[in-house]
Each structure stands twice: as C-alpha cells, then as structure tokens.
C-alpha cells in the first residue's frame, strides 16, 4: 500500500510536466501501472538526454567565451602629418590595398574608408586639413601591428 501511495504521489508530482498519464486508479491492473511506469522511465530518459545536450551546449559556449576572452585583441593606431599624400591619393592607395588583400569595404565616405581584411578591421581617414589616421584592430597585437606597418607602406609610403 505504501508503494502504491508513493507511486501516486510521484506520478502526480511530475504529471504536470510529463506526457504520461499520472493518475493510477484503484481499478488499474498491474500491467496498466507497469505501462505508466515505463512511460515515466522513457520520459525520464528523454529528459536526461535533453539535459545532457543542454549541458554540452553550455560547456561549448563557455569554452568559446573563455577562448575569446583569452584572445589578446590587438589595436594599432597612427596619426600622420597632413603633408603626406593628398586625400585623393590616400583614398586611391587605400582602395589598391583593399583590392590587393581582397578585403571587403564596410563603409566609405568623404575622406574615409573602413574595411575588413581577414579578422582585422581597418579605418583609414584621409583629410587635408588635419592629420591622416590609420586605425587597425585585430585578434592579436601581432596581426594588428603587422597589418598597420604594411598599410603605412602601401598607403602613405612610409617605412
């Protein structure tokens, strides 16, 4: 009798979340109760699999987050004097560098071009009344500085 009460309490407690019938009637036969228990066992196994899949996804996301936080993001910045190439030459040289790298232009306007080269983002500001600016961001300091140095040579003809 105690087992019967435990089964009824257990099945009614999880019945609201389950697809199995949670009530056991006094008229139920042993086979009916076994079928209901088998349903709960199957439901339990399915929920355990879903939980394990969620845990695996959480672990994967935590790993990606840790890797991205451990990545040493790089940044290169240079302000150049205005007596460098004219804004038109600066813009043309920037477009040649973009074509050379098969990079994609993100934004372009009067006196500036922003583009993406691999995992690096670059902003080149070519203006005549203020210094020209070259901003490079990347996944690592080495990548950003290397690209910055290359672009200084290609766009502004500086070594």
Range of the domain at 96: 74-156
- Structure confidence by residue, pLDDT tens digits, 32-56: 888 888 998 899 999 889 888 888 8
- Structure confidence by residue, pLDDT tens digits, 74-130: 666 666 665 566 788 888 999 999 999 999 999 998 888 999 988 888 988 887 666
| Same-domain check for residues 79 and 64 | no
Q: Which residue did the predictor score with more confidence, 12 or 53?
A: 53
Query: What confidence score (pLDDT) does residue 115 get?
Result: 92
| Same-domain check for residues 101 and 61 | no
The domain boundary, picked from 45, 69, 93, lies at: 69
Please give the radius of gyration of the chain, using alpha carbons only, rounded to the nearest integer: 32
Q: Which residue did the predictor score with more confidence, 145 or 129?
A: 145
| Same-domain check for residues 54 and 20 | yes
| Same-domain check for residues 144 and 110 | yes
CA dihedral 148, 151, 156, 158 (to 10 degrees): 70
CATH value at residue 141: 3.30.310.80
Sheet holding 74-80, edge to edge: 74-80, 132-138, 120-125, 112-117, 104-109
How many structural domains does the chain have? Answer: 2
| Same-domain check for residues 54 and 26 | yes
| Same-domain check for residues 63 and 81 | no
| Same-domain check for residues 101 and 56 | no
| Same-domain check for residues 64 and 90 | no
pLDDT of residue 2 exceeding 70, the answer is no
Confidence of residue 11 (pLDDT cuts 50, 70, 90): low
Locus of tokens 């009530």:
23
| Same-domain check for residues 62 and 86 | no
The 10 Å CB-count burial string (b at 16+, else e) for 133-142 is: ebbbbbeeee
Which region holds residue 68: left if phi is over 0, alpha if psi is between -120 and 50, else beta? alpha
């Amino acid at each position: 009798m105690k087992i019967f009460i435990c089964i009824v309490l257990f099945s009614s407690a999880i019945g609201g979340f389950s697809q199995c019938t949670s009530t056991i009637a006094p008229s139920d036969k042993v086979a009916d109760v076994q079928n209901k228990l088998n349903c709960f066992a199957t439901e339990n196994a399915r929920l355990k699999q879903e939980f394990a899949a969620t845990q695996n996804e959480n672990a994967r996301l935590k790993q990606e987050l840790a890797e991205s936080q451990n990545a040493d993001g790089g940044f290169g910045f240079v302000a150049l004097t205005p007596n460098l190439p004219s804004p038109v030459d600066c813009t043309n040289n920037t477009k040649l560098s973009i074509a050379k790298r098969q990079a994609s232009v993100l934004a372009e306007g009067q006196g500036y071009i922003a583009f993406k080269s691999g995992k690096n983002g670059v902003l080149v500001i070519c203006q005549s009344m203020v210094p020209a600016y070259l901003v490079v961001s990347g996944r690592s300091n080495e990548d950003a500085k290397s690209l910055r140095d290359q672009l200084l040579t290609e766009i502004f003809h500086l070594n």
